[in-house]
Amino acid sequence: MEGFDRIIEEVFAEVKAINDLGEVASYIPELLNVDAQKFGVYLTSISEFKYGKGNFTEKFSIQSISKVLSLSLAYSILGESIWSRLGVEPSGTSYNSLIQLETDRGIPRNPFINAGAIVISDILISNLKDYKNEFLNFVRKLSGGKPIDYSNKIATSERSVGYRNVALCNFIKSFGNIENDPSEVLDFYFDICSLEMSCIELSETFLFLANNGINPHNNEQVLTKSQSKRMNALMQTCGFYDESGEFAFKVGLPGKSGVGGGIVAVHPGHYVITVWSPKLNRKGNSFKGMQFLEKFTTESTLSIF
Ligand code: DON
């Protein structure tokens, strides 16, 4: 990975100077308290190349990026049987859409839209005793023991306005695809979304997906080789909602975004790169994050295409 520090420096400077046409997510009141000018990048590779630029050590709200982590835990516990509860097809709709659930009879299209992640939260509650702590420990282990936690402030803020997610959960329950009490499922879902991590922590945490499902920090096989391949396939096809095609077209890596302005992208067998810039484009993905990754994979030729 020689020379990639220089490419990161150059692309970072170029994108920093671009006029940011995005807007900070406002539907979760607490997210508005972030400094919109923050911009951080961190790359970590299987070969132990590491490089960061900007605000890469600062924690932010990872929001939907956590959907990859909750799915990984559920997948590691239950294996392929989870696919009887949700699909693996891109939805082509926004992350919080209710539309397809009616025709699909409560089976979410994929685990990365809110509906799918709510079903995953339900699965974790049914299968773990101390689910909040067990999920946190799972993430901390993946990160190599970093001090990662939920944000009570963010979760409380989202709970106070989470009407759409309440609707989604109850709607899915009406079709019989939620086993537990909707208020308990939503409470856990909001906690999962409230995780706070820095670019460095996120990159280190996602490295197992670049490493055939093996946590490089302790050599534990978290997911099988097949499951790891499938996780990357899902990120490639569903990680950006109705902008997933665009992300593949421009960036060419499996990835996942969150409304906190973070994006994680994985090059299987090679590296993980995380970008954070809070202002979002109209599809809910980081405006500068998308630009940075497009320029980075083009200049470095490090995409899967
Ligand atoms: O449920 C929500 O709406 C948020 N907690 C997460 C949404 C999100 O991050 C979608 N990502 N782009």
Tens digit of each residue's pLDDT (9 = 90 or more) over 268-285: 999 999 999 999 999 899
CA separation for the pair 264, 270 (Å, rounded): 14
Residue 8 CA to ligand 1 center (angstroms) comes to 28
Residue 280 CA to ligand 1 center (angstroms) comes to 12
Token pair of 186 as six digits: 């939503």
User: Is residue 248 a part of any domain in this protein?
Assistant: yes
137-173 pLDDT, tens digit each: 999 999 999 999 999 999 999 999 999 999 999 999 9
Q: Do 162 and 95 meet the contact criterion of CB atoms below 8 Å apart?
A: no
User: Is residue 225 a part of any domain in this protein?
Assistant: yes
Q: Give the three-class secondary structure for 285.
A: coil
Place of tokens 């900070």: 24
Residue 18: alpha-carbon gap to chain centroid: 25
Mean pLDDT, range 259-276, rounded to an integer = 98
Q: Is the dihedral of CA 169, 70, 277, 269 positive or negative?
A: negative
User: Is residue 305 a part of any domain in this protein?
Assistant: no
CA separation for the pair 68, 292 (Å, rounded): 22
CA separation for the pair 278, 293 (Å, rounded): 15
Place of tokens 């939260």: 121
Q: Give the three-class secondary structure for 289.
A: helix
CATH of the domain at 134: 3.40.710.10
168 pocket-lining for ligand 1 (C-beta < 6 Å): no
What's the number of domains the chain is made of? 1
Instruction: Please say if the pLDDT value at position 74 is more than 80.
Output: yes
What are the DSSP E strand ranges found in the chain? 23-24, 40-45, 50-54, 60-61, 196-197, 214-215, 220-221, 255-257, 262-267, 271-276, 279-280
Token pair of 29 as six digits: 């009141």
Instruction: Please say if the pLDDT value at position 1 is more than 80.
Output: no
Token pair of 205 as six digits: 């945490």
Query: Catalytic: 67?
Result: yes
Q: Measured from the CA of 241, which atom of ligand 1 is nearest? A: 12
The domain in which residue 50 lies consists of 4-300
Q: What is the pLDDT of residue 3?
A: 76
**Strands 271-276 vs 214-215: parallel, antiparallel or unpaired:** unpaired
Lowest model confidence (mean pLDDT) among 44-48, 170-174, 187-191: 44-48
Instruction: Please say if the pLDDT value at position 69 is more than 70.
Output: yes
Q: What is the pLDDT of residue 241?
A: 87
